[in-house]
Amino acid sequence: MFCGKCGKEMPDGAVACPACGAPTDAPTGAAPTPPPQPPKAPVSKGKVIGFSILGVIVVLILGLIVWAFIPNDKTRIEDELYRIMEEEYNASGDLFSVEKISPIMKGEIEEGKANVYVFTIRTCGGDLQSGVAVVSKEKDKDRKIEIAHTPDLFDQIEALNLK
């Protein structure tokens, strides 16, 4: 059993604390009571601010990582060019590389509207050729990419009947 005033241990059944002399309220044979716990030290404002700043930085970094992996229109157009070359023309993507994709008209694509892009490819011979891509959105569907004007390389491959 422990003293309720000073917290020192007392023998069971003691009428008063031997250390401070305070009377006990417990009857003889009562279960020992634990000593009072010291109060917890308050957390400093500096630690709270530091952890808050750290949390914001972690959230921003995670947001940037997620944002980096979300495909944008330029990535979609580039992927579509390589897909067209491989699937529609049965030709290797080694015949060209995408150099630049620039918006002509750009904004948030609303239903029934489109963004127009000019793209430039470099052929395996080193020539630069341009084309036009249209990115549109139809009702309740994902964005649709159409190549409105193909580079000369695509026409040359088609003329060779590589299909």
* DSSP secondary structure, 130-147, as one string: EEEEEEEE-TTS-EEEEE
Average pLDDT estimate for 99-123: 74
Average pLDDT estimate for 108-124: 75
pTM, two decimal places:
0.48
Average pLDDT estimate for 3-12: 83
Task: Give 33-88 pLDDT, tens digit per residue.
Answer: 677 788 887 888 888 899 999 999 999 999 988 877 776 777 888 888 888 877 77
d(CA 35, CA 99) in angstroms, rounded, equals: 76
d(CA 20, CA 137) in angstroms, rounded, equals: 84
Q: What pLDDT does 163 receive? A: 47
d(CA 74, CA 102) in angstroms, rounded, equals: 8
